[in-house]
């Protein structure tokens, strides 16, 4: 697989990464550990070198699975994990905790679960409204100097926060949602990232599965699937949003590709420093996603996609009100 560098950080990763959250939570029942380990190792064997996890996924169990899977090949991969969620409920402010000592405690615990001596990319999972971002960036800077962390990242951060953090410790990557059905980063974020030399790692690049074409208004989700609480996945919204998928399906047919591959190839074509991290629990979907890196979208293809999707207004919010309150603006 081709590789990409996240901004000007020098951090080189596979053009497609693997988001590991769904292995342990959110999309139905967690995978059995042996199956999850096999899937992660299969991703590496097929060229993926960039693996994304977080302490809150599970919680904790996802880091343990990723650590077990990648331990034999640790020096050949890039591991990203995250801090900043108040899992224990002790910080007392909107479910977040980026106090300096908490960051340090999380890093020590993550290193153990990941079976490694350093974290390649450490994200603040959500911006903490109580702790100044300068303190957060300063703490990560110290951890970098100590060799426990290699690069600093932010997730779902707004322009002002990105600039303030970057002034203290260079930000290697921003991780936020971006796809053909969530294009808000184009309004202000992408230009700032380009200006500052920061890479972009889109999560949910396939619209939480919707852009694959495998979900429609009649789809039912497991009772533990978080999409049950997402307004954009309400039955009426799915019915209205089917037009977007239909447009992508038509373009994919012309390219002899799948809708998922076109959606991922579209992201890759936006900027050379964008690295999407689709997640999956299925080997065939993993291979399908990897195949998107070989698809070249011509200017005419991109124009056709733009014409098709810009005429469609996506219905439904992407988060419940509770989760939306955690997004930095």
In a domain, 92, yes or no: yes
Q: Assess whether pLDDT exceeds 90 at residue 147.
A: yes
- The token duo for 284 is 């065939």
| pLDDT above 90: percentage of residues in the chain | 92
DSSP string covering 224-271: T-GGGG-GGGSHHHHHHHHHHHHHHHHHHHHHTS-HHHHHHHHHHHH-
The answer as to whether 307 is a domain residue is no
Residue among 133, 232, 131 nearest 174 (CA): 133
Does the structure show a pLDDT above 90 at 91?
no
267-310 residue pLDDT tens:
999 999 999 999 999 999 999 999 999 999 999 999 999 999 99
318 inside domain: no
Instruction: Choose the weakest-confidence range: 20-34, 79-93, 193-207.
Output: 79-93
The reported pTM is 0.97
SS3 content of the chain, % helix, strand, coil (to 5): 45, 15, 40
How many Cβ atoms from other residues are within 10 Å of residue 16's Cβ?
28
> pLDDT of 105-114, one tens digit each?
999 999 999 9
- Catalytic residue list contains 178: no
- Asked if the structure places residue 79 within a domain, the reply is yes
Whether 171 is covered by a domain: the verdict is: yes
Indicate the number of domains in the chain.
1
| Tens of pLDDT, residues 185-240 | 999 999 999 999 999 999 999 999 999 999 999 999 999 899 999 999 999 999 99
* C-alpha dist (Å) from residue 273 to 173, 180, 207: 9, 17, 20
On whether residue 314 sits in a domain, the answer given is no
| Nearest in space to 14 (alpha carbons), one of 321, 325, 289 | 289
Q: Please say if the pLDDT value at position 93 is more than 80.
A: no
Cα distance from N-terminal residue to C-terminal residue, the chain: 35
Tell me whether residue 124 is in a domain.
yes
pLDDT at 317 exceeding the cut of 80: yes
DSSP string of 11-65? -EEESS-EE-HHHHSSSSSPPPHHHHHHHHHHHHHTT--EEE--TTTTTTHHHHH
- Residue 25 maps to a domain: yes
**Which structural domain, as residue segments, surrounds residue 93?**
3-212+270-294
Task: Single out the catalytic residue among 57, 123, 178, 319.
Answer: 57
pLDDT for residue 92: 66
Domain of 60, CATH number, reads 3.20.20.100
Q: At what angle do helices 299-310 and 235-255 cross, to 10 degrees?
A: 160
Ordered DSSP codes for 177-197: E-BTTB-GGGTTHHHHHHHHT
């Amino acid at each position: 697989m081709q590789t990409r560098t996240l901004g000007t950080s020098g951090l080189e990763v596979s053009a497609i990464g693997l988001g590991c959250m769904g292995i342990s939570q959110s999309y139905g029942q967690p995978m059995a550990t042996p199956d999850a380990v096999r899937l992660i190792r299969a991703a590496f064997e097929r060229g993926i070198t960039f693996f994304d996890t977080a302490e809150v996924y599970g919680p904790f169990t996802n880091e343990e699975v990723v650590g077990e899977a990648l331990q034999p090949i640790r020096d050949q991969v890039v591991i990203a994990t995250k801090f900043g969620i108040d899992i224990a409920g002790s910080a007392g402010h909107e479910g977040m905790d980026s106090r300096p000592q908490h960051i340090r405690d999380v890093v020590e615990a993550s290193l153990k679960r990941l079976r490694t001596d350093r974290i390649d990319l450490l994200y603040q999972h959500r911006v903490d409204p109580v702790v100044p971002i300068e303190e957060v960036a300063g703490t990560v800077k110290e951890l970098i100097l100590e060799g426990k962390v290699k690069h600093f990242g932010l997730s779902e951060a707004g322009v002002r926060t990105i600039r303030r953090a970057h002034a203290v410790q260079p930000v290697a990557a921003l991780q936020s949602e971006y796809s053909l059905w969530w294009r808000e980063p184009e309004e202000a974020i992408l230009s700032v990232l380009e200006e500052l030399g920061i890479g972009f790692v889109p999560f949910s690049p396939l619209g939480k599965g919707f852009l694959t074409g495998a979900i429609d208004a009649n789809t039912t989700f497991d009772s533990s699937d978080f999409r049950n609480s997402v307004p954009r996945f309400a039955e009426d919204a799915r019915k209205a949003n089917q037009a977007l998928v239909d447009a992508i399906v038509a373009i994919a047919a012309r390219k002899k590709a799948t809708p998922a591959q076109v959606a991922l190839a579209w992201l890759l074509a936006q900027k050379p420093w964008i690295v999407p991290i689709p997640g999956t629990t299925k080997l065939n979907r993993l291979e399908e996603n990897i195949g998107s890196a070989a698809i070249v979208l011509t200017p005419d293809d991109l124009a056709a996609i733009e014409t098709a999707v810009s005429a469609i207004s996506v219905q439904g919010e992407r988060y419940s009100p509770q989760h939306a309150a955690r997004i930095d603006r």
